[in-house]
Structures are given as C-alpha cells and as structure tokens.
Amino acid sequence: MSHRHTLDLSLYLVTSSDLLPSNTTLAKHVEAAIKGGVSIVQLREKNLDTGAFIRLAKEVHGVTKKHSVPLLINDRVDVALAVGCEGVHVGQSDLDYATARVLLGPSAYIGISATNVTEAVKALDDISDVYADPGTTYLGLGPVYATATKPDHKTPIGPEGIREILQSLSTHKLSGARASRPLPDTQFVAIGGINRENLYNVLYMSEPTLEFKEQQKKSVCPRILKLGGVAVVSAIMASPTPQIVARELCNQINTASTPAAADPILSEEHISQSTFDIIKSIPIHMPLIHHITNSVVKGFSANVTLAVGASPIMSENPMEMKDLAAITSGFVLNMGTSLPEFELVATKGITENNRKGNPIVFDPVGAGATKWRRELSHKLVEVGYFDVIKGNRGEILTIAGAENIVMRGVDDASVDGAMQSHDLARVVRDLALRENNIIVMTGKSDIVSNGMSTYIIHNGHPWQAKVTGTGCSLGSVLAAALSVIPKIGPVVRSIDRKLSAVISGMLLYNIAAERAAKRAQGPASWKVAFLDCLSQMVETGFLPEEAKIEKLN
Ligand code: 3NM
Ligand code: MG
C-alpha cells in the first residue's frame, strides 16, 4: 500500500453499483466522475460476494490508478489487501481502526465514520494510539441529510451537526496516557444526502461560527478544523452525466468562499458586475420560491417574484411542507400572519427547508408589536437556521434581544429614532455574528452585514413606504437571488457569495424603486412602474453609478 500525495478529500465519490444508470459500467462511470474532478473513490458494494467484489475492485483500481486517485474499500480490509489499493473506510460497526491499521500498514489511508462528538473524539483517540504516516486518516461525518442510499442511516445531523463536531474537536485535547501526544492531523469529510442543490449550504453552515473563530484566535494554540470536502453517492452514481455533475460539484467547492474570506473592498464596477451576474441568472433558472406570508402582501409578493423571473408558490399547510421543500429552491418565512397555528407550520417549514438545504429568508414582521410575536420570533430563531433575517429597525432590534422596543403596528415609523446609524450597524453586525448568517435592517437606508463586512445601501424611494408589501416582497427577491447562487460559477471570489446575493437583491430592488419613481405620479402608478422596472432590470442590469452603497468598518 503506497501513495504519493496527502489525501485530497475535496470531492469524494462513494460507489453503489445498484444506482448506476443502464448502459454503463461502474468502471466507466467512475472514470467519467474522476474526469469531472472526483479526488478520491470509495468502493462501497453492499450486495456483492467476496469473489465478485474483488474482481470489481481490481477493475475500478485500474481506472483510479491511471488517474492517480486513491481507491478505498468500504469495510472489507481483506478486499483492500487482495487488490492492493490505497486503503479502507470503516463504519462504527465494522472492523476497528487499530486492527485495520495493523493489517494495512502505516501508509494506508483509513477513514472512520462518526455521527456525533463522542464518536469523533473516540475515533481521534483510536487514531492517536497506533502509529500512522501523517495525512493518512480522515473522519466521515454524517449523515448531514436524510438519504435513501443508506436505508439504516442514523438521524441526520445537518450542517450544524458537522459544525458542532468540528468546533468541539478544534478545542479537544487528548487526555490520560494520550495527553502528551499532538492531536492527529486527521481530515474531515461530510456525507449523506449532499447534492448540487444543497452543497453550498453544507459548506457554509458547517463552517465554525465567526464568534468561534474570534475566540480561537485568542487561545494559546488556535486550531480551527474545517471540512476537507464532501462525499456523495447518489448525486454522482445515479446521474446519467457523472462527469458534468462532478464538474459542477467541484466548481462549487472551489468557489465557495466563507464570511472569513478576504475583506471585500468592492469597487462600483465590481458591485454592478457581480450583481448583474447574480440577478440575470434568476430568469434563466426560474427558481420556485415557497412563501409563507401574510394575506395583506401575498398578491404583491407573488407579482414581485414573477417580475424578477422566479416563480412564487404560497402555502401554509403543514402537511405540504416536506413536498414543497423538495420542489422549491428558496423559502420566505414571513411572520405577519398572526394565527396560533403559525408556530407549527413555521417550524415544519424551517425544518424541511433546512433539511433540503434551501436558503431561508425570515421576515419577523411586527416582532416587537405584541408579546406573542416577540416570543415567537425568538423561538423560531432557535428552531433552525435562517440564511437571512430581514426586518425593519424595530424587528431586528427585537430579534437582537432589545426588551424595550414597543412598536405601534408593524411599520418602522413607530420606533424611536434616537439610535444613530453606527449604533444600528453595530447591532446588525453583532446579530449576524451571533446567528452566523446575514442580517438586513431596512429603513431609509438599509444596513446589511454578515458579521465581517457591513454595508449601508442608500438606494430607495419614499413611495416604497406608501405601498404595502414593499418590505415583505424584498424577502422574495432575496430568496430568489440566494437560490441561484449554487447554479452559477464564481462571482466574486473574495467575498461571501451569500452576501453578494443579498446585496445584489437589495440593489436591484431599491434601484428599481428609484427608476419607477421617475415614471410615476404617486404611490399607485409607482407600484405598477416598479414591477416593470424590476422585470427590465433582471435583463439589463443597472449602471455602476446608480448603486449608492457604502462599506462600514
Ligand atoms: N454513509 P448519498 S450516509 C454511505 O452517515 C453513507 O455515515 C453515511 O449517500 C453516513 O450521497 C451514506 O446518496 C450514504 O445521500 C450517502
Ligand atoms: Mg460500513
């Protein structure tokens, strides 16, 4: 057993021959996937006798060797030895790591499955007990999402579960007799239900929080463990075009930047160009956006969604949440429908959309207006992950925990205006840090932050405040912009892609509002012109000088 490079886990293909489309062979399929960018292959064949397994493994090893990609065997050390491939992957109920290591030697690659912190800690302990060459071990963490590929899989842990494991291991120290040893240089790969739709969510949401990163910076031996890649079975195995799928997954992995990436100083030109790349792809991909929203704004939100080239679907039926998550690619959750049943349906919607990996825009309408809404908004933030929380000043201050916000109704004019914009920007930034997401505070100028970078957008028009639904339907546009991010190539490498999408949606929306005002006589004709301008601008973009955006420090 020998290998030349340290393990590249970036796109990890796990096979399952039963998923193959007809008219191909496993070897051909694996070769196409490698050409698309697969960096490591695991042969996982649950229904083969030993003889057939070895024959298949030899054939596939011929292919992987040709491309210098390591081949690991699931579970069967005997098969790995018979074939002379590069290693094995052992599950929690398989052969133990120490025995596999002794049988295969110090330079074989060995992966171990772990589904929680306890299993992951035990795996690192086991790894540290037996000598192995550096860079030869990894942990497979999952299942991230529910998957049909492994019928007996454990409860999905979500990207947040991956994050929890990575953060715990980052601060973990070996104990007892192991205390003097360094933590092994083990890598990590996420597995379970990962596909082109949810990959970005997996990569983003599994990132250690910015708060955690800040905290680690202050520690004596700062360590921040991250995913080395993702593992997929059905996304590639069941595809008739494995090379294309692998290429797309790889592109996403290579272009995923994180909020901690280099600080963006966006030039005007840069902003309008990257913005246009995002917004023009909305009508190309026509994402279906599920809304749970209030009856006052349903029609207008649906029209705004259509105007930007996406499709709306409205439903508050808890029995539909799972099916809707499956067919949609973005979710707007608007708290303006204040009925007791709302909590149940919102919770189902959040859970199912998080599970699918759809971006969620949460609009805590009237969060500070009543005790019920205040409490519910706090509960919902605990239920799941929101990619964006968008609200006016009172709503965002309430989510941030201000107790004394008393809103008269749901509009911003009802909130005390004493706070200065730099105080507000600090609240927005701190809340983004706390929630590890993007916060948008709307107002005369809008503030947006991902915790690292904070912007003020000065675009917009006073008539927006005179037409109902103009706050709520910004959520539709943000969801549409976020939903196309996985489908487009590199936008601006150095900045958080989700932040780019949100800024793009906000500029599109507010510049359209300004253009519409030039054509209108008052709020009613403005509303009509606004839809016209939105639909034109997803085709033509806008001029760099139209964007009034300012970066704060
Ligand atoms: N192991 P797909 S989930 C092989 O959680 C495997 O350890 C898992 O298949 C684990 O990419 C899984 O088709 C199957 O969802 C993943
Ligand atoms: Mg197994």
Question: Does residue 492 register a pLDDT over 50?
Answer: no
**Shortest-distance Cα residue to atom 3 of ligand 1:** 192
The confidence score (pLDDT) of residue 5 equals 52
Q: Quick one: which of 135, 190, 199 has its CA closest to 164?
A: 190
Question: Does residue 262 register a pLDDT over 50?
Answer: no
The confidence score (pLDDT) of residue 76 equals 96
The confidence score (pLDDT) of residue 415 equals 46
Chain Cα centroid distance, residue 119: 24
The confidence score (pLDDT) of residue 480 equals 98
Instruction: Tell me, yes or no, if 472 is annotated catalytic.
Output: yes
Assess whether the C-beta atom of 192 lies below 6 angstroms from ligand 1: yes
Token output for 115: 């589904």
**Angle of the 523-540 helix axis to the 298-307 helix axis, nearest 10:** 30
Q: Which ligand is nearest to the CA of 100?
A: 2
Assess whether the C-beta atom of 194 lies below 6 angstroms from ligand 1: yes
For residue 93, report the distance from its CA to the centre of ligand 2, in Å.
7
Token output for 62: 């011929």
Contact 510, 279 (CB under 8 A): no
Alpha-carbon span 9 to 187, nearest angstrom: 8
Question: Does residue 192 register a pLDDT over 60?
Answer: yes
For residue 251, report the distance from its CA to the centre of ligand 2, in Å.
29
According to DSSP, the β-strands at 454-457 and 549-552 are antiparallel
34 vs 408: which has the higher pLDDT: 34
Q: Is the dihedral of CA 350, 478, 275, 264 positive or negative?
A: negative
Token output for 111: 């992966």
For residue 148, report the distance from its CA to the centre of ligand 1, in Å.
8
Assess whether the C-beta atom of 140 lies below 6 angstroms from ligand 1: yes
Q: Can you list the positions of beta strands (E) in 396-545?
A: 438-442, 446-449, 454-457
Q: Quick one: which of 382, 352, 380 has its CA closest to 364?
A: 380
Contact 356, 391 (CB under 8 A): no
Q: Which ligand is nearest to the CA of 202?
A: 1
Residues contacting 340, CB < 8 A, separation 6+: none
The confidence score (pLDDT) of residue 260 equals 36
Token output for 316: 């508050």
Q: Can you list the positions of beta strands (E) in 106-193?
A: 109-114, 137-141, 187-191
State the chain's mean pLDDT as an integer: 89
pLDDT digits (tens, 9 = 90+) for 501-540: 999 999 999 999 999 999 999 999 999 999 999 999 999 9
| Burial bucket for residue 357 (CB in 10 Å: 0-12, 13-18, 19+) | buried
Of all residues in the chain, what percent carry a pLDDT higher than 90?
A: 67
Alpha-carbon span 477 to 282, nearest angstrom: 9
Could you tell me the pLDDT band of residue 208, with boundaries at 50, 70 and 90?
Answer: confident
Residues contacting 497, CB < 8 A, separation 6+: 200, 255, 256, 257, 485, 491
Assess whether the C-beta atom of 147 lies below 6 angstroms from ligand 1: yes
Question: Does residue 308 register a pLDDT over 70?
Answer: yes
For residue 155, report the distance from its CA to the centre of ligand 1, in Å.
12
C-beta atoms surrounding 406 within 10 Å: 14
Which of helix, strand or coil describes residue 95?
Answer: coil
200 vs 391: which has the higher pLDDT: 391
Contact 328, 275 (CB under 8 A): no
Task: Specify whether the backbone of 142 is left (phi greater than 0), alpha (psi in -120 to 50) or beta.
Answer: left
Any idea of the CA torsion for 159, 164, 170, 176, to the nearest 10 degrees? Answer: -140
The confidence score (pLDDT) of residue 408 equals 52
Enumerate the β-bridge partners of residue 90. 112
For residue 370, report the distance from its CA to the centre of ligand 1, in Å.
44
Which amino acid belongs to residue 381? V
Domains plus CATH for the chain? 11-255 (3.20.20.70), 268-552 (3.40.1190.20)
Question: Does residue 493 register a pLDDT over 70?
Answer: no
Looking up tokens 């808890």, which residue turns up? Answer: 318
Q: Looking at this predicted complex, what is its ipTM?
A: 0.93
pLDDT digits (tens, 9 = 90+) for 90-148: 999 999 999 999 999 999 999 999 999 999 999 999 999 999 998 999 999 999 998 99
Atom of ligand 1 nearest to the CA of 91: 7
Contact 279, 504 (CB under 8 A): yes
Question: Does residue 416 register a pLDDT over 70?
Answer: no
Question: Does residue 267 register a pLDDT over 70?
Answer: no
Backbone angles phi, psi at 322, to 5 degrees: -70, -50
| Burial bucket for residue 529 (CB in 10 Å: 0-12, 13-18, 19+) | buried
| Buried/exposed 362-380: b ≥16 CB within 10 Å, e otherwise | bbbbbbbbeeebbebbeeb
Q: Quick one: which of 164, 76, 160, 77 has its CA closest to 121?
A: 164
Token output for 482: 């976020």
Q: Ligand 1 pocket check: which of 150, 152, 194, 239 to mutate, most ligand atoms within 8 Å of Cβ?
A: 150
pLDDT digits (tens, 9 = 90+) for 4-19: 457 999 999 999 999 9
Assess whether the C-beta atom of 193 lies below 6 angstroms from ligand 1: yes
Q: Order of strands across the sheet with 311-314?
A: 311-314, 288-292, 330-334, 360-363, 388-392, 438-442, 446-449, 454-457, 549-552
Which of helix, strand or coil describes residue 318?
Answer: helix
The most confident of the ranges 143-157, 165-179, 183-197, 520-534 is 520-534
| Least confident among 19-28, 284-293, 375-384 | 375-384
| Buried/exposed 152-189: b ≥16 CB within 10 Å, e otherwise | ebeebbbbbbbbbbbbebbebebeeeeeeeebbebbbb
Q: Which ligand is nearest to the CA of 95?
A: 2
Token output for 46: 């649950």
pLDDT digits (tens, 9 = 90+) for 322-371: 999 999 999 999 998 778 899 999 999 999 998 888 999 999 999 988 99
For residue 200, report the distance from its CA to the centre of ligand 2, in Å.
27
Query: How far are the Cα atoms of 7, 138, 189 from residue 229, in angstroms, in the given order?
Result: 11, 11, 5
Token output for 430: 């701190």
List, in sequence order, the alpha helices (H) in 10-157: 26-36, 50-66, 77-83, 97-104, 117-129
Enumerate the β-bridge partners of residue 11. 230
Assess whether the C-beta atom of 198 lies below 6 angstroms from ligand 1: no
Say which of 85, 221, 472, 533 is annotated catalytic. 472
The confidence score (pLDDT) of residue 71 equals 98
Assess whether the C-beta atom of 111 lies below 6 angstroms from ligand 1: no
The confidence score (pLDDT) of residue 264 equals 42
Looking up tokens 């299993």, which residue turns up? Answer: 119
Alpha-carbon span 361 to 386, nearest angstrom: 6
